[in-house]
């Protein structure tokens, strides 16, 4: 489905769901705490909803993994069980207004990750939050850590290594005393980081 149609579906879902569900987006670590949350959210953008069996088939997630992701999305107010489910053609799960705003961005990000074969690295809990946090004004380890609530030094170090291994960031030792590494996004990483940031901003 094209992104224009995804956005149209999102508008329809927003008009059908109660406005009281509409809240700010959760931070990226919360959104990506479950590995399959991003692809499931993107899959719900296709038609504004889907059945569990369809989600597992299209994303490659196990039924248990897809179920955990859906439960997490429901807890965050991004998805809901369809109150009218029962008809064979009706989706089992639908987007809330909050989810409808984010789902087209999630679909675009998932498509980019799979096309670049980066889903394994980028679907880890802290990867996208770390990538989004690395900026020209936050290029040192301590600066990046302060930008991500709840991350430990060990988790950040692991995420930075993973991103460097995937050629999404570079690590340069700055000639000062004591020597300290500086992190920068690569050109390959910029569109991924911008899409991740767009999900958090909607």
The answer to whether 192 touches 106, Cβ cutoff 8 Å, is no
pLDDT of residue 28: 81
Domain 3-114 identical in fold to domain 127-195? yes
Sorting pLDDT into bands at 50, 70 and 90, what band is 88? low
Separation of CA 91 from chain center: 22
State the Cα–Cα distance between residues 153 and 151, nearest whole angstrom.
Answer: 7
**If residue 141 lies in a helix (H) or strand (E), which one and from where to where?**
helix 141-146
Instruction: Look at 6-20, 61-75, 94-108 and tell me which has the smallest mean pLDDT.
Output: 6-20
Do residues 126 and 84 make contact, with C-beta atoms less than 8 angstroms apart? no
The pLDDT value recorded for residue 24 is: 60
Sign of CA dihedral 115, 119, 121, 125: positive
The per-residue pLDDT for 6 is 45
Angle formed at CA 189 by CA 175 and CA 161, multiple of 5 degrees: 55
Task: Report which of 13, 123, 1 is spatially closest to residue 60, judged by C-alpha positions.
Answer: 123
Q: What topology does CATH give the domain 3-114?
A: Arc Repressor Mutant, subunit A (1.10.10)
For the cut 80, the answer to whether the pLDDT of residue 89 exceeds it is no
Q: Write down the pLDDT at residue 141.
A: 94
- Distance between CA 17 and CA 77 in Å, rounded? 11
The pLDDT value recorded for residue 200 is 80
| pLDDT, average across residues 101-126 | 93
The residue ranges of every structural domain in the chain are 3-114, 127-195
Q: What is the pLDDT of residues 114-137, one digit of tens each?
A: 999 999 999 999 999 999 999 988
pLDDT at 165: 96
Does 127-195 carry CATH code 3.10.20.30?
Answer: no
What is the predicted pLDDT for the residue at 30? 84
Instruction: Answer for the pair 58, 96: CB distance below 8 angstroms, yes or no.
Output: no
Please report the pLDDT score of residue 33 as a whole number.
85
The per-residue pLDDT for range 17-62, each reduced to its tens digit, is: 443 334 566 778 888 888 999 999 999 998 889 999 999 999 999 9
Q: Is there a contact between 194 and 135 (Cβ–Cβ < 8 Å)?
A: no
Q: Per-residue pLDDT averaged across 151-171, rounded?
A: 96
Q: Is residue 175 very low, low, confident or very high in pLDDT (cuts 50, 70, 90)?
A: confident
State the average pLDDT for the chain.
85
């Amino acid at each position: 489905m094209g992104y224009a149609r995804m956005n149209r579906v999102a508008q329809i879902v927003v008009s059908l769901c109660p406005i009281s569900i509409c809240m700010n987006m959760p931070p990226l670590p919360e959104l990506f705490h479950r590995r399959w949350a991003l692809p499931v959210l993107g899959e719900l953008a296709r038609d504004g909803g889907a059945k569990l069996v369809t989600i597992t088939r299209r994303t490659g997630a196990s039924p248990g993994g897809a179920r955990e992701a859906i439960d997490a999305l429901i807890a965050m107010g991004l998805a809901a069980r369809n109150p009218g489910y029962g008809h064979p053609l009706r989706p089992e799960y639908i987007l809330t207004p909050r989810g409808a705003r984010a789902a087209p961005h999630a679909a675009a990000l998932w498509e980019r990750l799979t096309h670049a074969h980066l889903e394994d690295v980028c679907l880890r809990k802290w990867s996208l939050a770390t990538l989004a946090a690395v900026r020209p004004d936050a290029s040192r380890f301590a600066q990046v850590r302060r930008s991500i609530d709840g991350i430990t030094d060990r988790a950040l170090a692991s995420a930075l290594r993973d991103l460097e291994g995937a050629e999404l960031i570079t690590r340069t030792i700055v000639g000062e005393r004591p020597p300290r590494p500086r992190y920068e996004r690569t050109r390959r990483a910029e569109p991924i980081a911008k899409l991740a940031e767009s999900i958090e901003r909607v």
